[in-house]
Amino acid sequence: MFKRFLSLEWKQFSRSSYFEKGLAIKILLILGALYFIACFGVLGVAAFFMIQDGFPNQDPLVVVSNFLIFWFMADLAFRFFMQQLPVMNIKPYMIIPIKRKTVIHYLLGKTTLSFFNILPLFFFLPFSIVLLVQGYPPLNVVSWFFSMLFFTISLNYLNFLLNKNNKFFYVILSILAGLVLLEYFEVYPISESAGTFFYTIYQKWYAVSIPLLLMILLYRRNYKFIRESFYLDDAIRKESQEVSSTNLGFLNRFGDIAPFLKNDVKLIMRNARPKQVMLMSFLFLFYGLIFYTQDTYRDMPAFLAFASIFVTGGFLLSFGQLVPSWDSEYYKLLMSQNIPYRKYLESKWYLMVVAVVVSFILSTPYLYFGYKIYSMIAAGALFNIGLNSFITLYGGVLNRVPVELNVKAKAFSNTQGFNPTQLLIALPKMAGPMLIFYIPYKFINFEAGILTLALSGILGLVFKKFFFNLIEKVYQKGKYKTIAAFDEKK
């Protein structure tokens, strides 16, 4: 039966619009994956000797064990925001004689083959081989390697629960935040205690049963969680909700684009996923504290420019990257109306511009770090308005992943709205301002770098009409492919 599932999903994938994406993007994604695999592999081989040189009086395995807790915490955080969980359309299987447990086991088995599970192995496997070459007991090394494998797969199943149930997310987030605070304020040495635990797993080979048991328990919890919703009535049931009207008359001053702006504001106010994005964009305001409070970054101004983009560009980067996916549930209806596509795009642009301006006003307390930092934030805001906003809209035509607006605990629905193409789109938005600032800074001075960054944003506003004409043509050309891609979720 699993072979039949694989055959059906391959046909679904090969016949979908995603299969028709540009060959160049596919090649870049493959090269990116190979690059990270190579980096992890080299690090796995070199880590033992690097630690041996840096900490000559310590066992390299002990040092690695002390850092494993942070490795797994970072892995879980990266998975939560980046991993797109595999899903399948289960409704057709509910009305034919296929056992529910077969479909559920297949779905969970798919998650195990994720790139996020395979990538860490390219560190742990070479590192384990080096340990064997260096004379470590084979049985202990093998048990330690499989323990790391089981912990990695456990994170995969834990991430499945976090993405599908908000209760799990808040509980785990509270635990992780508590551990970080205990370590940061030196209340309790979490890294040392965790390092002792991981090293004990190496010393006592039979301790491999602990991560194995954890993996099995999380697998069973996922199985139970999915099975509880695996009913046809649950799949087709519609929830009735009381709808309240909102007066947004003040937006009428924007003329023809006012209806679109009202629609976007209501979308943000009434739905779960856009509210999450709003919260995330607010948290971006504090991103500068990571860089501006460290003397190390003051000697690397290019990274300060990178931080300045994020301080005012939180909403633009998080909400803007999912245009037009936010409207996926009614995109076909929207495109069937007698409305100019230009107005639809302008409404998204004005929404992002207003968000950047509000973020800049809220960033005023950064004056505490001096006028240079605040002027860089101002230059970053101009760059976001004049160039990043257009780059974001242009990249939206490549983003054809539908978004479910009300994210709830559904085991078989893809609510991530994320695809790896967005990483490629994000490169010019992040690397561009660093390069624009750094070149004049290197050859002239700091103020020249800020002025160049600000002028690049102003130049983008000057050529606003040209950019909109270009973006409109691209959207018009790919309109029907986008409609077909959004329809696939049904």
For residue 412, tell me if it sits in a domain. yes
pLDDT beyond 60 at 89: no
Give the integer Cα–Cα distance in Å for 209 and 223: 21
pLDDT band at 212 (very low <50, low <70, confident <90, very high): very high
Closest CA to 148 of 68, 76, 79: 68
- Of 130-139, 253-262, 320-329, the range with the highest mean pLDDT is 130-139
Task: Please report how many Cα atoms fall inside a 13 Å half-sphere around the Cα of residue 472, on the Cβ side.
Answer: 16
Reply yes or no on whether the pLDDT at 468 is more than 80: yes
Q: Is residue 242 part of a domain?
A: no
Between 176 and 343, the higher pLDDT residue: 343
Which one of 236, 263, 280 terminates a domain?
236
Domain annotation covers residue 14: no
Cβ burial, residue 323 (10 Å; 0-12/13-18/19+): buried
pLDDT tens digit string along 46-56? 999 999 888 88
Which tokens hold the place of 488?
A: 């696939």
Is residue 135 located within the same domain as residue 272?
A: no
Q: Are 44 and 148 members of one domain?
A: yes
Specify the 3-state DSSP secondary structure of 417.
coil
Can you tell me the distance from the alpha carbon of 56 to that of 53, in angstroms, rounded to the nearest whole number? Answer: 6
Whether 262 and 403 share a structural domain: yes
Span 40-84, pLDDT tens digits: 999 999 999 999 888 888 889 998 998 888 888 888 877 876 676
Q: Is residue 12 part of a domain?
A: no
Alpha-carbon torsion (312, 317, 318, 324), positive or negative: positive
Which of 168, 202, 236 finishes a domain? 236
Q: Are residues 135 and 259 in the same domain?
A: no
CA angle (423 as vertex; 418, 428 as ends), nearest 5 = 135
Residues near 196 by beta carbon (within 8 Å), at least 6 away in sequence: 65
Quick count: other Cβ atoms within 10 Å of Cβ 224?
Answer: 10
User: Percentage of residues in the chain with pLDDT exceeding 90?
Assistant: 15
How far, in Å, CA of 197 to CA of 207, rounded? 10
Span between the terminal Cα atoms of the chain, in Å: 24
Q: Does 247 score more than 70 pLDDT? A: no
Looking at residue 122, its pLDDT comes to 92
pLDDT at 133: 93
Alpha carbon distance 229, 427 (integer Å): 39
Say whether 406 sits in a helix, a strand or coil.
coil
pLDDT at position 125 is 93
**What values do phi and psi take at 219, rounded to 5?**
-60, -45
Higher pLDDT, 210 or 265: 210
Is there a single domain that holds both residue 42 and residue 124? Answer: yes
Residue 28, burial from CB neighbour count under 10 angstroms (0-12, 13-18, 19+): middle
169 and 282 share one domain = no
23 CB neighbour count, 10 Å cutoff: 8
Q: Is the pLDDT of residue 96 over 80?
A: no
pLDDT tens digits, one per residue of 111-151: 787 888 888 999 999 999 999 999 999 999 999 999 999 99
**Helix %, strand %, coil % for the chain, to 5?**
80, 0, 20
Distance CA 361, CA 269 (A): 22
Vertex 270: Cα angle to 426 and 351 (nearest 5): 45
- Please check whether residues 191 and 88 belong to one and the same domain: yes
Q: What is residue 479's predicted lDDT score, i.e. its pLDDT?
A: 81
How high is the pLDDT of residue 451?
A: 92
Write out the DSSP string of 200-256. HHHHSGGGGHHHHHHHHHHHHHHHHHHHTT--HHHHH------------GGGGGGGG
Cis amide linkage into residue 324, ω under 30° from 0: yes
Look at residues 431, 311, 317, 439 and name the one whose alpha carbon lies nearest to residue 374. 311
Which among 176, 210, 236 is the end of a domain?
236
Number of domains in the chain: 2
- Same domain? For 66 and 209 the reply is yes
pLDDT at position 129: 94
Q: What is the structure's pLDDT at 233?
A: 56
Angle (deg, nearest 10), helices 190-203 and 138-164: 130
Say whether both 256 and 232 belong to one domain. Answer: no
- Whole-number mean pLDDT of the chain? 79
Asked whether residue 244 is domain-assigned, the answer is no
Residue, of 375 and 488, whose pLDDT is higher: 375
143, 282: one domain:
no
Q: Looking at residue 419, what DSSP letter applies?
A: -
Q: Are 128 and 144 in contact (CB under 8 A)?
A: yes
Q: Torsion-angle region of residue 69: left (phi > 0), alpha (psi -120 to 50) or beta? A: alpha
d(CA 283, CA 317): 12
Greater model confidence, 253 or 479:
479
Q: What is the pTM of this model?
A: 0.60
DSSP helix/strand/coil, 34? helix
Q: In a 3-state reduction of DSSP, which class is residue 42?
A: helix
Claim to verify: residue 268 and residue 335 sit in the same structural domain: yes
The amino acid at residue 109 is G
pLDDT in tens, 420-445: 556 666 777 778 888 888 888 888 88
Structural domain includes residue 126:
yes
Spell out the residues 6+ positions from residue 317 whose beta carbon is closer than 8 angstroms to its own.
Answer: 281, 284, 310, 388, 392, 426, 429
Which has more pLDDT, 262 or 465? 465
Can you give the pLDDT at residue 74? 81
For the ranges 228-232, 237-241, 260-264, 375-379, the lowest mean pLDDT is seen at: 237-241
Tens-digit pLDDT profile for residues 356-414: 999 999 989 888 888 888 898 899 899 999 888 888 888 877 777 777 775 443 333 33
The whole-number pLDDT of residue 188 equals 77
Is 363 part of any domain?
yes
**Is the predicted pLDDT of residue 330 greater than 70, yes or no?**
yes
Please say if the pLDDT value at position 243 is more than 70.
no
Q: Is residue 241 part of a domain?
A: no
Range of the domain at 160: 2-6+19-236
Claim to verify: residue 476 and residue 349 sit in the same structural domain: yes
At 304, the pLDDT band (50, 70, 90 cuts) reads confident
Share of the chain above pLDDT 70, in %: 80
